[in-house]
Structures are given as structure tokens and as C-alpha cells.
């Protein structure tokens, strides 16, 4: 009986050896790859968290520099942010903050440079749209109408489409292109919700170009009920 068991165990052992000789190397590599991927994933997560913490700290420095009013320091800190953390949301927010600060200080060139960077480099389409709208507004003020319109080319998130149309209407109106301005203001009015406070401003602009906003409201057709059969 013992001999029979010994033979079975030996047979199983031989099968195991054969299986390992055939697939052992492959199994080892699969295990190593899985383990390596797990380690790499944890390392990447740690790197991302560490990077976010560093970016947040540098953004605080950007805020302090804007409060100080030192233009040279503001631009230097923004340069550090762009160089080290360009792919983070903090860098995009910093670009918009710096642009506003420089604009308020009368540094139009610096403001436009910061907005251009966000518009071209931001990974978040929302931040890109905000930068383009602001940049188009600054170019409109300087009467650079064609450049302002170029900033508004291309697609933007749907929620920004009415704002882009409104800004285009402003540019066309400044150029004396009344019909084009009407078209864009109509788009803006239609795209905004009925409860939007901003829509009231668009209504004022529509009235200014000779369009009655009431004429744009959808007409609700009431179908009379069919007479009952006696």
C-alpha cells in the first residue's frame, strides 16, 4: 500500500516538475510584472500627491506675490510654477490670478502673456475657455478686433458657448458690424437659461442692436383637445 502511495506521489511530483519546467519561467515573469506594476502604481500615486502638495505651496507663494504688488516677483514666481508644475490645476489658476493682478496694475502686456499661456497650455478646457474670454476682452479694449476674434475660435465646453457668443457680439458691435453682433447676441441669449442673471444683460444688448428679446422666446402651441364622441 505504501509503495502504491509512493508511486502516486512520485508521479505527481514528476508532473509538477514537468509543468514548472514548461511554464515556470513564464509564471515568474508574470508575477514579477504584476508586482512591478503594483510598485510603479504606488510610486506614481505618491509622486502625484507629493507634486500636488508642492504645487499648492508654490501657489500660496503666487498669491502672496500678487498681494505684495511686486511685478518682478509675481512674474518670477509664475515662471517657477510654469516650469515645475505646468500640468497642474494650480498652475492654471496661478496664470489667471497673475493675469488679473498685472492687468489691474496696468501691465497689459504681462497680463496677456499670462492669459496666452493658460489658453494654450492648460489641460483643463474650462480654464482654457476662461483665459480665452479674458484675453479676447483685453484685446477688444485695445481695439485689436481680429486678434480678439481669433482667441474665440475653436470649441469650448458647452457651458461657455453663450459667453463666447456674447464676447463675439461685443467685438462685432465695436467693429460696427451690427448684423453679426445681432446673430451672436441671439446665440448667447438662447444658450443661457431663463433664470440666468447674465441673460438680462444680453437682453439690454439685444435691445441696443434693435432686437426684441421677446421675439426670441419659443412659441408654445396649444393643440385643442379633440371633441368627445357622444
Question: For 107-135, what is each residue's pLDDT tens digit?
Answer: 999 999 999 999 998 889 999 999 999 99
For domain 23-123, give the fold.
Answer: 1.25.40
Residue 24 in this model has a pLDDT that exceeds 80: no
Helices (H), the chain: 2-68, 71-85, 89-104, 108-121, 125-141, 145-151, 161-174, 178-191, 197-208
pLDDT for the residue 220: 39
Average pLDDT over residues 204-226: 68
What the block records as the C-alpha cell of 99 is 493675469
Average pLDDT over residues 127-149: 95
Average pLDDT over residues 80-104: 90
pLDDT for the residue 70: 83
User: ∠124-108-164 over CA atoms, to 5°?
Assistant: 45
Residue 47 in this model has a pLDDT that exceeds 60: no
pLDDT tens digits, 56-80: 888 888 888 888 878 888 889 899 9
Domain boundaries, the chain: 23-123
Q: Is 59 exposed, middle or buried (0-12, 13-18, 19+ CB in 10 A)?
A: buried
How crowded is the C-beta side of 185, counted as CA atoms within 13 Å? 26
Angle between helices 125-141 and 108-121 (to 10 degrees): 150
Average pLDDT over residues 41-48: 42
Q: At which residue does the C-alpha cell 512591478 appear? A: 36
pLDDT for the residue 223: 45
pLDDT for the residue 221: 37
Q: Please tell me whether residue 230 adopts helix, strand or coil conformation.
A: coil
What the block records as the C-alpha cell of 70 is 511686486
More confident residue, 136 or 59: 136
pLDDT mean across residues, the chain: 80
Q: How far is CA 36 from the centre of its chain?
A: 33
95 Cβ neighbours under 8 A, 6+ residues apart = 78, 81, 82, 114, 115, 117, 118, 122, 131
pLDDT for the residue 222: 40
pLDDT for the residue 230: 43
Average pLDDT over residues 97-101: 93
148: confidence class by pLDDT, cuts 50, 70, 90: very high
Residue 228 in this model has a pLDDT that exceeds 90: no
pLDDT for the residue 14: 66
Average pLDDT over residues 156-164: 94
Residue 151 in this model has a pLDDT that exceeds 60: yes
Q: Is the dihedral of CA 163, 168, 173, 175 positive or negative?
A: positive
User: ∠115-60-72 over CA atoms, to 5°?
Assistant: 55
pTM over cut 0.85? no
A 10 A CB-CB count for 9 gives 10
Helices (H), 86-124: 89-104, 108-121
Amino acid at each position: 500500500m505504501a509503495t502504491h502511495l509512493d508511486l502516486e506521489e512520485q508521479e505527481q511530483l514528476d508532473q509538477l516538475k514537468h509543468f514548472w519546467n514548461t511554464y515556470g519561467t513564464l509564471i515568474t515573469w508574470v508575477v514579477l510584472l504584476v508586482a512591478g506594476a503594483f510598485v510603479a502604481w504606488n510610486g506614481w500615486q505618491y509622486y502625484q500627491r507629493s507634486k500636488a502638495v508642492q504645487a499648492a505651496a508654490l501657489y500660496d507663494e503666487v498669491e502672496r506675490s500678487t498681494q505684495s504688488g511686486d511685478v518682478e516677483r509675481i512674474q518670477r514666481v509664475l515662471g517657477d510654477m510654469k516650469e515645475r508644475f505646468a500640468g497642474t490645476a494650480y498652475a492654471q489658476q496661478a496664470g489667471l490670478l497673475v493675469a488679473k493682478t498685472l492687468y489691474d496694475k496696468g501691465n497689459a502686456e504681462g497680463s496677456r502673456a499670462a492669459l496666452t499661456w493658460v489658453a494654450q497650455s492648460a489641460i483643463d478646457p474650462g480654464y482654457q475657455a476662461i483665459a480665452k474670454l479674458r484675453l479676447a476682452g483685453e484685446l477688444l479694449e485695445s481695439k485689436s478686433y481680429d486678434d480678439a476674434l481669433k482667441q474665440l475660435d475653436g470649441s469650448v465646453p458647452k457651458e461657455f458657448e453663450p459667453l463666447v457668443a456674447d464676447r463675439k457680439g461685443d467685438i462685432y458691435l465695436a467693429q460696427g458690424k451690427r448684423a453679426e453682433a445681432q446673430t451672436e447676441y441671439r446665440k448667447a441669449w438662447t444658450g443661457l437659461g431663463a433664470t440666468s442673471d447674465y441673460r438680462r444683460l444680453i437682453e439690454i444688448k439685444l435691445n441696443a442692436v434693435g432686437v426684441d428679446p421677446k421675439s426670441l422666446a419659443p412659441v408654445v402651441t396649444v393643440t385643442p383637445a379633440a371633441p368627445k364622441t357622444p
